Amino acid sequence: MGCRDVHAATVLAFLSGTASVAGLLAAVLLPNWRQMRLYTYNKNERNVTVYTGLWIKCARFDGSRDCVIYDPQWYTAVDQLDLRVLQFALPLSMFTAVSALFLCMIGMCNTAFVSTVPNVKLAKCLVNSAGCHLVAGLLFLLACAICLIPSIWVIFYNNYLNRKYEPIFSFDISVFIAIASAGGLFFTSIMLFLWYCACKSLPSPFWQPLYSHAPSMHSYASQPYSARSRLSAVEIDIPVVTHSS
């Protein structure tokens, strides 16, 4: 598809970014960041597994799906540093990714509905397809870093808890969901960067529109110098004297 159309790469990037934001939302809401398995030596009792999330905590007996203890106020008393950091990092990553999706949508709408002749007043503004997609790619990359680093830290902090106390801690499915969502955000940014590099000349400013300029409009590209322009502006006439015999 042409660069002046809604490209398949930008549509795929938008869908990938939307799916990644949905994955981050699921990771935030699910109480499955860490499991703490409590064993009992009483044969008449069952073992208990405590499922810890960012906002709630749930304790279940083995073989049961009902919460014996459900704590909806867990977010106010989180005593694990990695989960406390994630309470701030994941919402910030979601907000950054949603902002990038909004910019990406603006870029696609400008590509689809704006005329081929750019508005002179908006020519140096980010409100055009190229600028929106580049800034959106940078925001997706930032959201990926904000989400990925604390999520990987959970794995190492889980090992630290097992060494400090007893080997009863294990990370749960929300860790994998968050890491996969971060990978989706990274893939989205790469798609937008590939589109930008393929459809834009890199020496030009990133806010330069992609539209074809009308002949009467000012062009940002530098025109090649003619042979005449490289000569001096002052011409000196030297008279030639010939001697007649």
Closest CA to 134 of 203, 186, 200, 185: 200
pLDDT value, residue 132: 75
pLDDT value, residue 228: 45
Structure tokens at 9: 């790469």
pLDDT value, residue 217: 42
Contact in structure between 120 and 71 (CB atoms under 8 Å): no
Mean pLDDT check: name the lowest of 21-30, 95-104, 158-167.
Answer: 158-167
Q: What is the pLDDT of residues 33-90, one digit of tens each?
A: 888 888 777 766 778 888 888 888 888 888 777 888 888 887 787 778 888 899 899 9
Q: Which residues 6+ apart lie within 8 Å of 38 measured at CB?
A: 47, 48, 49, 50, 168
Closest CA to 17 of 110, 117, 136, 119: 136
Statement: residue 12 has pLDDT above 80: yes
What mean pLDDT value characterizes the chain?
A: 75
The average pLDDT across 137-151 equals: 93
* Runs of H (alpha helix) within 64-219: 81-113, 129-164, 173-199
More confident: 58 or 185: 185
